[in-house]
Structure 1
Amino acid sequence: MTTHYSIDHWMKYVKDELNDTERVLLENHLYTCDQCLELYIEAVDKQEETLPSISDEAAFMNDIMKKISNENMVIEKVTEKKRPFYQSSIFHYAIAASLTLILMSAGFFQSIIKHTDTIQKAEISVKQQSKTDGLVDKTFAWMDSFDGSKKEDFKK
């Protein structure tokens, strides 16, 4: 069961007369309770009546706009800081290009290509030899071993 707060509570909230823990409780309650949200809006409307009126709205708005533009200028100056040279992309490209040239002149890429060629040739030779071819080769080798042993017997 949710507890609803009175209009007096919401008036204290609007006037900033509550401590931090009570403010947090009321703020969290506003997320879930439409009835209290209406009371809060009513309290804001009542508080608005007590605020002083602005005599020259155009001058007030111009002052605010000047302050905003001044803040924007300060933000732009902060963001315009020049980055160090080592953080620029041209520096990174130069490092990459120089490392590539060093590795090329040392033959690093050629050794990788030779190594991949030997791996590819070994894979191709393993793939091309079928089981029947292997069986035939072993049979001929076995038969050749008999021929070699008979020839040695005849020589003795």
Structure 2
Amino acid sequence: MSRFDQQPTDKLFKALESASPQDELPATATLLDAVRFNADGLLPAIAQQHDTQEVLMMAWMNREALEETLNTHRVCYYSRSRKKLWRKGESSGQQQHLKSAALDCDGDTLLLQVEQTGPACHTGRRSCFYLSLTHEHATINSEPLINPDELYGKQ
């Protein structure tokens, strides 16, 4: 049993601020009990290519999606529009395989290190972050790798 196991879930992330890599931490299930899901039961998850550190996308996870991702290493999100689990690549074939997952210091955002197969974005681009902004104008910073019609079929 770790010194953190006695912490109430609402104080666990505060207590972990003083933790070191040598400390024994609570079980993952205990940490997930303390995660600060929003009012809809969702957590923002940022996917980053593990070897290049390229930020690929941001999506939402509920606890079920997060647990499935941790168990299977195939990234699963929660689709707010469809109101169901969304296994990345289930319609496009462009899967994400989990390399590692990390919670932020407040327990309210997740960073996923992934191996991305092909484009991460539904537009066919490698990253969803292809619209660059300045104070005066916007530019497109990348071309699609694959035409979205080829990824998803004609809509």
TM-score (norm 2): 0.22
Point out which structure has higher relative CO (alpha carbons under 8 A, 6+ apart): 2
TM-score (norm 1): 0.22
The structure that has the greater radius of gyration is 1
